[in-house]
Amino acid sequence: MMEQAGIGCNIYIYWLVVIACTIFLFYLSALICRRIVTPIIRVLTRKTKKNWDDIILNDKAISSVCNLVPAVVLIVLLPLLAEPGTTIYIIAARLCWVYVTALVVRLACVVLSSLYIITNSSERTKNHTLQGVFQMLKIVAICIGAIIIVAILIDKDPSNLLTGLGASAAVLMLVFKDSIMGLVAGVQLSANDMLRPGDWIQMPKYGADGTVIDVTLTTVKVQNWDNTITTIPPYALVSDSFQNWRGMTDSGGRRIKRSICIDMNSICFCDKKMLDDFKEKGFIAEEERKEVANLTLFREWLDRWLAEHPLVNKKMTLMVRQLQPTPQGLPLELYFFYDGVQWIPYENLQSEVFEYILAKLPEFGLKVFQSPTGNDFQYLRNIKS
């Protein structure tokens, strides 16, 4: 009896030593990773001139690796804690592998996020809408991880589960329809360079008129000029039409196309007195001109005045032209470009030009057509009386 008690006592001591050593090695590996390896990696990444290693080896990635190493150590030491093939060993091993799989999936998602940051900061790829692609890769990694975890728990081959899921592909397609369509649309938008974050787009169908602030797998966020946010499905930008103002921004000029209606009763040939007056004011050159209309001289003068304006883009189209006469008069259209793309200076220039034109018209003997108002009828009534 005493010998059996001694043997039993030795077994308990053995298991206590094994458990204590396992716990010690588990925490030692975690401590080495966090206290020694992590600071060394941070120092090395800071000393390099490249920025990509700082992004990939960020705190989340290092933390995931630090959590993964002790779990691997525990799996290696598990045969010392329980005899392989026993129920306790099988349950413990499965839980450990589930934990390791979850950590690997988390590490993969962290690495994908880091790669997106790198591509988004690169001059070659920052203008491409790749966020949806990386989000889809994360979803794929999570789905694969979930399948592996289920296979571990039920002790099945993951390939068999994938074969079984093939039968339910229609259901999966329905569940992930928006994500799949968003991925395809994101690839098309990126490949054809149709949309970039920061672009000003207009899509009246969805009430969008503003700047693109985010392009994800399932939505495109547009901040409108009233600071409201409109969300658009990415596939809608491919299947429907939208207007992108990036070309205007890149060109460096913003078009002004506006007309004023001239009262056709004020258009006439210039007599000598009018010509002399125009010469004195510098509206026309010194050479003699016969049978020239006041509107012709006004168009020529306006064309020269716009060409000399400091805020008008001289490298782009500039013209003053007539449109089809209407019952409201003869439209005189100004077609030119502001030498910039900012909205407020653009509106200020447009207002300044037409205010100046309206003030100058009477000097050429021209009038702007304006529908009669109540004051006009009152004036005629007073004349008759």
DSSP line for 306-320: HHH-TTB-TTS--EE
pLDDT reported for residue 3: 47
- Average pLDDT of the residues in 103-119: 83
Per-residue pLDDT band for 5 (boundaries 50, 70, 90) equals very low
CB of 368 within 8 A of CB of 361? yes
CB of 137 within 8 A of CB of 112? yes
- Average pLDDT of the residues in 338-347: 90
Alpha carbons within 13 angstroms on the beta-carbon side of residue 177 total 4
Per-residue pLDDT band for 124 (boundaries 50, 70, 90) equals low
Which single residue is written with the structure tokens 């299947």? 239
pLDDT reported for residue 286: 59
- Average pLDDT of the residues in 341-359: 91
- Average pLDDT of the residues in 334-361: 92
Question: pLDDT tens, 262-312?
Answer: 999 999 998 888 888 888 887 776 555 678 899 999 999 999 999 999 999
Q: How far apart are CA 235 and CA 219, in angstroms?
A: 9
Average pLDDT taken over every residue of the chain? 79
Per-residue pLDDT band for 116 (boundaries 50, 70, 90) equals confident
pLDDT reported for residue 48: 73
Question: pLDDT tens, 146-177?
Answer: 888 888 888 777 776 666 666 566 666 666 67
231 versus 60: the higher-pLDDT residue is: 231
pLDDT higher than 60, residue 1: no
Q: What percentage of the chain carries pLDDT values higher than 90?
A: 19
Q: How far apart are CA 274 and CA 280, in angstroms?
A: 10
- Average pLDDT of the residues in 322-328: 91
Question: Using alpha carbons only, what angle is made at residue 173 by residues 172 and 174, rounded to the nearest 5 degrees?
Answer: 90
281 versus 38: the higher-pLDDT residue is: 281
* pTM, two decimal places: 0.56
List of residues 6+ apart from 312 with CB closer than 8 A: 306, 318, 336, 337, 338, 339, 349
What does residue 313 show for φ and ψ, rounded to 5 degrees?
A: -75, 120
pLDDT higher than 50, residue 110: yes
Question: pLDDT tens, 181-237?
Answer: 777 777 777 767 788 888 889 998 888 999 998 887 778 899 998 889 998 888 888
